[in-house]
Amino acid sequence: MDVARGAREAAPARRGIWGWLRVVAVAAVVVLVLGVSGVGLSQAADSSLPDSPLYPVRQANETIAQILSRSPESRTALEINLAERRLVDLELAERSQKPSLLLRRIVIQMVVLTNQATEQVVQTQGPRHDVLVGQLRSLLPREQRALDRLAASLPARNETVVRQLQQELQADQQRLGD
């Protein structure tokens, strides 16, 4: 027992400053590698669609961003940004000829985010209010065109859903006024 204790007590003294520096350097490299791989995974997930295995990573990133958005203005800006991302997702899914259920899921998420952003922007009057209203006014017609395109390409059983989403977007446009 005394021999083992003596060896443990002598080990740090033998390492000296270079031994501890090596331990710190190895730990820093491990942290750096894990951080870079996490960033890479996050970036790869940014363009993923709901049928991708990376989509949960993207959803987690979006949830964290929503949690960190404290002010109504920043939350509204984030929701507009996310709705625009869903529009891009929809266009990508259409070009990739994804199944109609996937397209439907994307447009529902898009319209829900737009509805939330509209609701919040109508209730707020901060310094960025007019900018956010302008962003929504720009986004809504693009979403309407995407829904029109989708209505023409989806099976008839989805027609009711698309029509309801179009009505929700029209209601959002009316809430924003001229």
Are 60 and 66 spatial neighbours (Cβ–Cβ below 8 Å)? no
Residue in the block written with tokens 């996490």:
38
Which amino acid would we find at residue 131? V
Q: What does the pLDDT look like over 115-149, one tens digit per residue?
A: 999 999 988 887 888 899 999 999 999 999 999 98
Alpha carbon distance 60, 77 (integer Å): 18
Q: What does the pLDDT look like over 31-53, one tens digit per residue?
A: 655 555 554 545 556 677 888 88
What is this structure's pTM? Answer: 0.73
Which amino acid would we find at residue 70? R
